[in-house]
Amino acid sequence: MGCELSKLATSDFSHDPFHRPPPPADPRSPLTTKQQYCIRASWKGIFRQIEKTGIILFIKLFEENEELLHLFEKFRELRTKEAIVSSAELAEHATQVMHTLDEGIKGLGDMDSFFAYIRHIGSTHRQVPGFKAENFMKIEQPFLEAVKTTLGDRYTPNIENIYKITIRFILENLVKGYEDALPRE
């Protein structure tokens, strides 16, 4: 008696590209396969304007959490929105943060690599004097606002939902990496 799977594999169903079920997403991922596809497609629009989006993110972050400015030695003296916008150091850091998010979003298709990378980045923040794990979560709203600004009318309710799930998942894993790096007692 033949295997049921081999019958299915040889049926017409599996050769019809429009009715084939998508491959299952990794159960550790908060996104379905379709959502992963949507965010990767949408993210291309962000990536083309990665520095601008990163600067918007940090302007929003500092507007909502001015106390975080002291964590950034290179630009803690910036007092006005204009000074922040024109700061080369801030643009460099904003771009670096956006590249980290880029790696995280692209890594959602390989959860082992995703966890290794994002948690490592979280652990490196233990070296930042005065940094607290909860600071990561303060990025969520500014990130969503920056993405909305960059995408404009391409920022649909569906895309917004996918970005909310994704940024929260990335930030939670940055926190986990930060906390796991605590010295063991």
Let me know if residue 138 belongs to a domain.
yes
The residue with greater pLDDT, 66 or 95, is 95
Let me know if residue 30 belongs to a domain.
no
CATH at 155: 1.10.490.10
Is a pLDDT exceeding 80 seen at residue 113? yes
Number of C-beta neighbours around residue 70 at 10 A: 10
* Angle subtended at Cα 49 by Cα 32 and Cα 69, rounded to the nearest 5 degrees: 95
Let me know if residue 158 belongs to a domain.
yes
Q: At what angle do helices 33-47 and 88-106 cross, to 10 degrees?
A: 160
For residue 6, what pLDDT is reported? 41
Report the percentage of the chain scoring pLDDT > 90. 65
Let me know if residue 21 belongs to a domain.
no
Let me know if residue 29 belongs to a domain.
no
Let me know if residue 78 belongs to a domain.
yes
Is a pLDDT exceeding 60 seen at residue 45? yes
The average pLDDT across 2-14 equals 43
Please give the C-alpha separations between residue 80 and each of 28, 60, 76, 112, 149, in angstroms, as whole numbers.
Answer: 42, 13, 11, 41, 21
Let me know if residue 168 belongs to a domain.
yes
> Can you give the residue range of the structural domain that contains 62?
44-180
Average pLDDT in the chain: 85
Is a pLDDT exceeding 90 seen at residue 72? no
Let me know if residue 31 belongs to a domain.
no
For residue 10, what pLDDT is reported? 43
Is a pLDDT exceeding 80 seen at residue 152? yes
Domain count, the chain: 1
Instruction: Give pTM, 2 decimals.
Output: 0.82
